[in-house]
Amino acid sequence: MKVSYQWLKSIGPELEAGIAELSERLAALGFPVEEVATLSEGFEGLVVAEVQGVREHPDADRLRLCDVDGGQGVVQVVCGADNVVEGGWYPFAPVGSTLPGGVTIGKVQLRGQESQGMLCSEKELGLGPDGTGLMVLEGRFSAGQPLASALGLEDLRLDVEVTANRPDLLSHEGIAREVAPGGHTALTLPPIPGEDPAASEALERLERHADPEEVSGDGVTIRIEAPDLCPRYVGLVVRGVRVAPSPHWLQTRLRAVGARPINNVVDATNYVLLELGQPLHAFDLQQVGGRSVVVRRARQGERIRTLDGEDRALNRDMLGICDEDRPMAVAGVIGGEESEVTDETSDVLLECALFTPGPIRSTRKALGLSTEASYRYERGVDPELQLRALRRVARIILATAGGEIRGPILDCRPGDFSRKTVSLRPSRVEALLGIPFDHESIRELLEPLGFSLEPQSPEELRVDVPGFRSYDVTREVDLIEEIARTHGYDHFPDVLGAFRPGAVPDHPLFELEDRVRDELVAWGMLEAQTPAFAPEGEGEVELLNPISSEERFLRGRLLPGLVRRLEYNLARGNRSVRLFEIGTVFALEDPGDLPRERTHLAAILHGDRFPPHWENEARGLDIWDLKGVLGRVADVVVGEGASVGPDAEGDSGSPFDPASRLVVRGVNGEAVGEAGRMPAARMDLPPWAGPVWGFELSLPVEPGPRKEIRYRPLPTHPGVDRDLALLLPEDLPVEELRGYIGREAGKYLRETRVFDVYRGKDLPEGHRSVALRLHFRAPGRTLTDLEVDEAVRRIVDVLREELGVGIRGQQDASGGA
């Protein structure tokens, strides 16, 4: 809400204390001032000038020579605007002054004629969009008067943040009521310059016709056919107005809060909206067909050309303000062009209505159009305000545009306007706020806000809610908030008392995520967080209103996002990229159900295995680094029984090169994740990039309890190692040997470790040498060589007989190769 400090002070004289105190007080009440703008800023040196003479430019058709009095003697100014007239008053930038946009005015020659300064348009002054002609100043001025004072810019504009629950603060009166030390009773509305007291007096005594369905008078009929959408519609006819630019005081007020003056009738309605918070509309009565106003739902497909020049189609959910046959305005949102007040208008029908907030909001959304009126109506306009606002606007129109009001006031009101009462228990106040408040202190806190209190019993107060608070104060708790707010949050203690710890157990996934992070951080990986949006093809859950086409879906997996992060890093020359992410992925469920969500873990690896060191040979990360970290992660994620093995078949959607594809399986053999080398062709990498490794796993929805650690006694006797160098066909996986070895080795084989893999010309074609170290140990005694030799012999035999594996050598491990 934009607030003029001068305007505010004219309503609440107690607010003279100054802007700093006002800002502080607003903030303490919950309405921080986001910005204070000095309106005269940038207008230094600019003045008001009178054009005393206008002559043709001898050498240019479209330029004129003006004799301009800017207070420093008459100077010649060349001007291109059509609307410059002798005797007119205009903003003037003398030589040496600077426009708000930063342009400094110098003495120039225009087509051979000297120009000493510049007469300005609205646009050149940054005051509005109109750059077609000079800005015409209305009122009495003196030549050389500072432009800021002439435009009423010696004011401060406050941008007050008003929360969505407080529509009553969307007006100068509302703000003043909230902050004035004396409360709502201390306010007065400023007098209207040029007002005829007798006319205003007559207005107060004007007859009023009221009816829930239809009222007529002064040749006009108002009928409400949709009482659920319009609880009240008040109309008043003003005849014989003279539509013209508004007087200076009115334009000043509007400009101070950034509104653009249009004409005296429209400006009067806007003024009252900003002053009291009541949206108003003025129709040209000549354009109201049948002199009837029908408040009804629009017909499907009915069209209206609105004031912003748009041709709009309405539907049955929208409320129209119609004449006999067509809509003249979209209720509570915007007026129509045909019934607009123009310079030709002489009779005006004023509308001062109340609309139901919800439908205004949906209409506003459907039309994609938010206006000052819709902003207030969708939040809630004071249901007690209409007559007061109507009289106020009528007085201003009479004072600025003349005319005559015969009456009656046409008050069509199907709604219920009885005041709401809310009961308030001081015991409940204490139960919620933690400190006691008695009747008297509650009264002192609530009454200045406009509430009236009536004790029902020592335990209960009856609180009468004023209309302007009828939207946000409907329950006891709403009053308790008012008590806390006006008492001041700072006045509550903040000493920690006793509390019961919560009885809700931790969701188990947090602990698992924590351990995964520990594991991967220990491997030297950095955690990334990427947005869950994805382009088409990377997810199946689609957004209705995406931010961009690249973010139209929700991701189905994490890796594509990490690939983009890798590309980003490599493009910036970051060679070593080891990123992991724990995040949510989405999949479609049955129609009507929410998407299925799973927490995934993914990683992407590129670059050197170790940080460069002068003594190390640089080596890139490879498949064994990937498989190593994957094994550890599988242990953490799946627990006991996890396996990691090759699976070149895979599903076709796998992002990995099939030959490098590893699959992580759970206890029951189900795939929980996969890993491998990511084909460079599918990524946007610089030419120097090395291989890219990645993995992605699905974390369990409900992780089981963490594996318990049990102590195993340490061996008491030494074991015996034997090395075997086996000649293995390339297509025989080492994994297949393990079963045979395990069966034949007897119960004392503790560990089988691959310690060398060798390929060379000295080996038979299609073979490699794999060296295994077998570790034997018996509990409680030392094994004899004989026992171990026997076991090794059995292993060698079975490998030869069953798999055709030859032996390159066999050694006592201590004996070396």
Partner 1 sequence: MSTDGSLIEELKKLEEEALASVEGVRDEAELEEVRIAFLGRREGRISEILRKLGQVPPEERPPLGAEANRVKSRLEEALDERRSSFARERAPDRFREDLTLPGRERWIGGRHPVTRVVDELIAIFRDLGFSLARGPEAETEWYNFEALNTPLDHPAADEQDTLYLKAGHLLRSHTSPVQVRVMESHRPPIRVLAPGMVYRRDSYDATHTPVFAQLEGLAVDEGITFVDLKATLAEFARRYWGPGTRVRFRPSFFPFTEPSAEVDVKRVFRDAEGREQETDWIEIMGAGMVDPAVLEASGLDAERYTGFAFGMGPGRIGMLKYGVPDLRLFYENDVRFLEQFAGP
Q: For partner 1, give the closer residue by CB, 160 or 774.
A: 160
Say how far apart CA 751 and CA 771 lie, in whole Å: 14
Q: How far is the CB of 382 from partner 1 (least distance, A)?
A: 17
Q: What angle do CA 450, 455, 458 make, to 5 degrees?
A: 140
Say how far apart CA 673 and CA 800 lie, in whole Å: 36
Q: How far is the CB of 361 from partner 1 (least distance, A)?
A: 5
Q: How far is the CB of 359 from partner 1 (least distance, A)?
A: 8
Q: For partner 1, give the closer residue by CB, 333 or 401.
A: 333
Q: How far is the CB of 375 from partner 1 (least distance, A)?
A: 8
User: Residue 722 in 3-state DSSP?
Assistant: strand
Q: For partner 1, give the closer residue by CB, 128 or 631.
A: 631
Q: How far is the CB of 586 from partner 1 (least distance, A)?
A: 6
Say how far apart CA 523 and CA 635 lie, in whole Å: 14
Closest listed residue to residue 673, CA positions, set 611, 744, 725, 602: 602
Closest listed residue to residue 5, CA positions, set 278, 257, 372: 257
Q: For partner 1, give the closer residue by CB, 416 or 490.
A: 490
Q: How far is the CB of 427 from partner 1 (least distance, A)?
A: 11
Structural contact between residues 594 and 561, judged by C-beta atoms closer than 8 angstroms: no
Q: How far is the CB of 564 from partner 1 (least distance, A)?
A: 9
Q: How far is the CB of 709 from partner 1 (least distance, A)?
A: 22
- 691: preceding bond cis by omega (within 30 degrees): no
Q: For partner 1, give the closer residue by CB, 19 or 522.
A: 522
Q: Which residue has the tokens 């008078």?
A: 217
Q: For partner 1, give the closer residue by CB, 16 or 494.
A: 494
Distances (CA, A) of 685 to 195, 574, 813: 77, 12, 46
Q: How far is the CB of 226 from partner 1 (least distance, A)?
A: 16
- Residue 138: phi and psi, rounded to 5, are -105, 130
Structural contact between residues 601 and 697, judged by C-beta atoms closer than 8 angstroms: yes
Q: How far is the CB of 368 from partner 1 (least distance, A)?
A: 13
Closest listed residue to residue 723, CA positions, set 807, 600, 626, 786: 807
Q: How far is the CB of 383 from partner 1 (least distance, A)?
A: 17
Query: SS3 helix, strand, coil % of the chain, rounded to 5?
Result: 30, 30, 45
Strand 533-534 and strand 553-554: the pairing is: antiparallel
Q: For partner 1, give the closer residue by CB, 585 or 749.
A: 585
The DSSP bridge partners found for residue 235 are 351, 410
Q: For partner 1, give the closer residue by CB, 335 or 583.
A: 583
Residue type, 189: L
Say how far apart CA 579 and CA 581 lie, in whole Å: 7
Say how far apart CA 157 and CA 274 lie, in whole Å: 13
Say how far apart CA 246 and CA 239 lie, in whole Å: 18
Closest listed residue to residue 74, CA positions, set 56, 90, 57, 50: 50
Q: For partner 1, give the closer residue by CB, 146 or 700.
A: 700
Say how far apart CA 650 and CA 644 lie, in whole Å: 14
Q: For partner 1, give the closer residue by CB, 481 or 622.
A: 481
Q: For partner 1, give the closer residue by CB, 309 or 502.
A: 502
